[in-house]
Chain A
Amino acid sequence: MPDKKGNHSEIPDGVSRRSFLKGMGTGAAILPALGKTVEAADLENRFGPEPAPITLTINEKIYHLQVEPRETLIEVLRNRLNITGTKVVCDNGSCGACTVYLDGAPVYGCMMLAVKAQNKQITTIEGISQNGKLHPVQEAFIEADALQCGFCTPGFVMSMAKVFEENPKASLIEVKQGLAGHICRCGAYAQIFKAAENVSKRNGG
């Protein structure tokens, strides 16, 4: 039964999709040994497989919606909320295209279940420009022609913005390290580095 109260504290913190699924498998295996009481309690608090109500805070807006527990954060953003700026490319946590912030920290949205993103501030590419003004990194991308097809761009922008938030005068090598988890298939790296240089220079770096 889905938990109508939206109480899901029993899902431990720091679970990736893989370890979560693995955990499910192990749980099923040891369930009979633990006895009936645990089983009953588990059923009561269990999520899914039917859609369950969750609440997400995305770009400072609150959304109440029904999702299947297996849906990733990015699937929910895109398929349920039509927030499509963030892309899925590899769907396996290896290309960085789906990068969003969770409480300000960059995460791969394809590697996180939506239910895990509750009670956190989710920021997507749509949320990093403020009051209709582009983020300096977005501005620098356009200026340096640091994009071609643009499919990887939201992810690159999110990670580079984070690099400069942590160190406004970040060096090129720091930027490269910050972007190492991203793939640009069109090969705009030279221009992406140029954009980073421009941001760093403007910050006095």
Chain B
Amino acid sequence: MVKNISALIGHDDVTKLVQFDVPDGEPGFWDKQYKFVVAGEKPVRRLDGMEKVTGKAKYTYDIYRPNQLCAELVLCPHAHARIVGVDASKAEKMPGVRGVMLAENLDAAMFAGWIIAMVAADTIQQARDAARSVLVEYDAQDFVVLEDDAGKDDNPIRKPSSGNPSIKGDVEKGFQEAFAVHEAEYVTQTTPHNCLETHGCVAEFKNGELTVWFSTQSLWSMQQAVAGYGGMPLNKTRVITEYMGGGFGSKLFGEQFADMCVKMAKKIGRPIKFMANRYFDSVACGNKPAAKMHVKIGAQKDGAFTAIRADCLNYPGFSGGASVATPFRSHYECPNIYTQETNVYTNTGLSRPFRAPGRPQGSFGLEMAIEELCMKMGLDPYEVKIKNVDVSPLDPRKYQFEVGAERFGWKKKFKKHGSDAGPVKTGVGCAVTYWGYSGDPGGAVCRCTLFMDGSAEVAIGCQDLGTGFRTMAACTAAETLGIDVQRIQVLTGDTDIGLVGPLSGGSKTTPTVAPAIKSACYKAQQKLFGRIAGDWDAKPEDIVCRENAVFNKENPEQKMPWNEAAQKVGSNMIVALGEHIPPPDVEGIRIGTGLRGAQFAQVEVNVETGKISCKKVVAVQDCGRAMAKAQAESQICGGVIQGVSYALFEDRIMDSVLGRQLNPQMEHYKILNAMEAPDIEPILIDVFDPVNCASAKGIGEPPHVPTAAAVACAVCNAIGKPIRSLPITPYKVLEALYGERR
């Protein structure tokens, strides 16, 4: 029932031979001895590149159904108000208006941007006109929108909620043992996702079925959500996300606007499209929440950490929770760690996961505290940090750190804090990343179909947010089948495919789907090889295909081109399903846990103007083995760019008098552009970890975790003064250097 295989696990530098069982009929493991031909080797052209560069790709935003109506929302302008009454009678009579629907939950609006009603009209202009004509009477209430005003004890909206502390060892004892201790408060800002395609959907009832085109990261949970909205059975509810203009975590959940869209489409009997405008998207569709972290850290004379303590305040909006403490517990080795978190509420839109939720905030607080401790002790932060990740040789952390420092030229570039002559001072900083999630066994079912002309199709109900999921899927299939990637067709982005895939969150897509694809393709090909095995007097599992050539491993003389072998598929096709089966549960065969990486940043700070530019980032990252190298590198670069943008520019600004966001539009909300983009060097470190048969891990989130911290440390190194709040602006630089009354 099982076959025992031996595999070389570890990473590029250190390996170990292990043995474990694999169920019969399932593929083996891509260990270090297995050289990739397609996946992770030469760059593969993004499968949907052609559609995207020509403008042919149809996003939800591009869907125009016959007879479609356009919807617009009526939003509350007050940060906190009781809703006394709504009068839509004027709006209902306006030209082109086909319906007005009031929102549920109309007792009180908890932030400026609360949905009051939805208007559907023939054109978007008419819908906007009518939305403006809906009369709403508010009874404005006291509110709080600034984190500083949202007192921990006397919050006017809702009592802060404190979680239980997470305790390892004894921090007080640890601080007593320390040679040096540093303690300070670190603050991060709130940043909306600003996906370029805003949140939205198109809902249509036709022939007794509901179809929703939805810009979503979670096809299947959205199918359940919209079926609920429309009172439809699941087998008559279809969700389509063929192309998607970014999500970054903000498009994982059901949406109130979608509920209203579906209900109105049902009532009016015409398709309805709602795409959020930039204002609604910014104030109400999620953000990376602000945090205040009181951090205390102690180290021995040689830099080994003795204790880390972080007391964190999170600001998730008017409700819910957020968490920033994970990095304090997981990024470095330390015998004594204490973290505690409290959610503090403001009258602002809810936070949502944003590319490694909580991690960039925590990483900033942690790495800056270490940086300041090193500055105090006169130590090189690189030496201190690498000392505290040196655990076991199989764990790639130390190796990654060394590779990155070498490529970055840390030893040559690092100077004592603030010692560069200026006026444009150069500084360098480094930080680590950790990501603890891997795939969900059973979370994906993939289908492989082989055709007699040698082409193949893989199908899976998942979504490509822009990560290159399709390309990853095709590469994994081509690698398994041993054929050119051009022969693979990928079907995805539609619940009608009928094969469940994971939501795209937690960087779980690739580690859940890649093993399912490998399994399906392996099984389909084994069926085919069963038809050849007789002629060769061979066992099907001994027949393999590499670079379009099928041969018998035991007798390499027996061989034929893939095209010839594929003729035995016949006109009925060969179909097989594959799943991500649970990983072998054997002690000592896993490579640490999760994914690791390290980043190095170089900045220039003009101490006369305060201007900061990030010049270079070296990003070392593992994602197990990259299934599609070019796209994995693009993910690293994207995480870094968003990190630099977060560190230096982005900041949601709330007006404490009006209670509204002052910069919901992109012309007032600074995002890094082409002129400010640093030179980025992504370095993928292969890690061979039998967490799944493909050794695949997700790379969307981890590279975003350490960038802002590395940039902040580099600024500190350049000017010799810490800047303890993000974003690091020229004003803060000058303030740090010359005091408030310069």
* Chain A interface (Cβ < 8 Å from any Cβ of B): 68, 70-71, 75, 78-79, 82, 84-87, 89-95, 97, 124-126, 129, 134, 138, 141-143, 145, 147-154, 157, 175-177, 179-193
Contact = CB atoms under 8 A, between A and B. Distances in A.
Interface of B: 43, 45-46, 48-59, 61-62, 64, 70, 123-125, 194-197, 243-246, 248, 277-278, 465-468, 630-631, 633-635, 637-642, 645, 665-667, 671-675, 677, 679-680
A184 B638 CA distance: 9
A144 to B, nearest CB: 8
A147 B246 CA distance: 11
Contact of B673 (A68, A92, A183): A183
A86 B57 CA distance: 11
B698 to A, nearest CB: 15
B666 A84 contact: no
Nearest to A180: B675
A149 B666 contact: no
Given A94-B667, A187-B640, A150 B52 contact: yes
A180 B673 contact: yes
Nearest to B43: A145
A193 B679 CA distance: 10
Which of B48, B55, B640 has the most chain A CB atoms closer than 10 A to its own CB?
Answer: B55
Nearest to B193: A185
**Interface of chain A, main secondary structure:** loop
B666 A92 contact: yes
A150 B48 contact: yes
B637 A147 contact: no
A20 B45 CA distance: 45
Nearest to B50: A142
A154 B55 contact: yes
Contacts of A154: 53, 55
Contact of B466 (A90, A91, A186): A186
Contact of A75 (B49, B124, B672): B124
Nearest to A142: B49
B634 A185 contact: no
Given A68-B123, A90-B666, 14 more contacts: A71-B125, A89-B196, A91-B278, A134-B50, A134-B53, A145-B45, A145-B630, A148-B634, A151-B245, A154-B55, A179-B673, A179-B674, A185-B248, A190-B641
B55 A185 contact: no
A183 B43 contact: no
Nearest to B642: A187
B194 A189 contact: no
Contacts of A143: 45
A17 to B, nearest CB: 13
Contacts of B680: 190
11 contacts: A84-B55, A92-B666, A126-B56, A142-B46, A147-B466, A150-B57, A179-B674, A182-B674, A184-B674, A186-B246, A189-B637
Contacts of A183: 196, 666, 671, 673
Contacts of A151: 59, 196-197, 245-246, 466
B260 to A, nearest CB: 21
Counting chain B CB atoms within 10 Å of each CB, which of A86, A154, A180, A190 scores highest?
A: A190
A132 to B, nearest CB: 10
Contacts of B245: 87, 149-151
A147 B49 contact: yes
A85 B55 contact: yes
B194 to A, nearest CB: 6
A189 B243 CA distance: 21
Nearest to A51: B123
A188 B46 contact: no
Q: Which of B46, B243, B642 has the most CB of A within 10 A?
A: B46
A131 to B, nearest CB: 13
Given A94-B666, A125-B55, A149 B196 contact: yes
Contacts of B631: 145
A82 B124 contact: no
Contacts of B45: 142-143, 145
B196 A190 contact: no
Nearest to A186: B638
Nearest to B46: A145
B450 to A, nearest CB: 27
A199 to B, nearest CB: 13
Given A71-B125, A85-B56, A151-B245, A188 B43 contact: no
Contacts of A176: 674-675, 677
Nearest to A159: B674
Given A142-B46, A149-B466, A185 B671 contact: yes
Contacts of B673: 179-183
Contacts of B246: 148-149, 151, 185-186
Contacts of B278: 89-92
A78 B123 CA distance: 12
Contacts of B51: 150
Given A71-B125, A125-B54, A141-B53, A95 B61 contact: no
Contacts of B46: 142, 145, 147
Contacts of A71: 125
Contacts of A153: 52-53
A189 B614 CA distance: 14
Contacts of B671: 183, 185
Given A126-B55, A148-B638, A149-B465, A93 B194 contact: no
A189 B666 contact: no
B39 to A, nearest CB: 15
Shortest beta-carbon contacts, A-B, top 6: A85-B55, A149-B466, A187-B641, A150-B52, A151-B245, A94-B667
Contacts of A126: 54-56
A93 B667 contact: yes
Contacts of B243: 149-150
A151 to B, nearest CB: 3
Contact of B634 (A85, A86, A134, A145): A145
Given A182-B674, A192-B674, A87 B54 contact: no
Q: Counting chain B CB atoms within 10 Å of each CB, which of A90, A126, A143 scores highest? A: A90
Nearest to B644: A187
A88 to B, nearest CB: 8
Given A92-B665, A187-B639, A87 B61 contact: yes
Contact of A147 (B53, B58, B642): B53
A91 B62 CA distance: 16
A148 B700 CA distance: 12
B704 to A, nearest CB: 9
Among A97, A142, A186, residue most surrounded by chain B Cβ atoms (within 10 Å): A186
Given A75-B124, A92-B278, A142-B49, A148 B468 contact: yes
Given A93-B667, A150-B243, A153-B52, A177 B675 contact: yes
B561 to A, nearest CB: 28
A142 B53 contact: yes
A143 B44 CA distance: 8
Contact of B125 (A68, A89, A149): A68
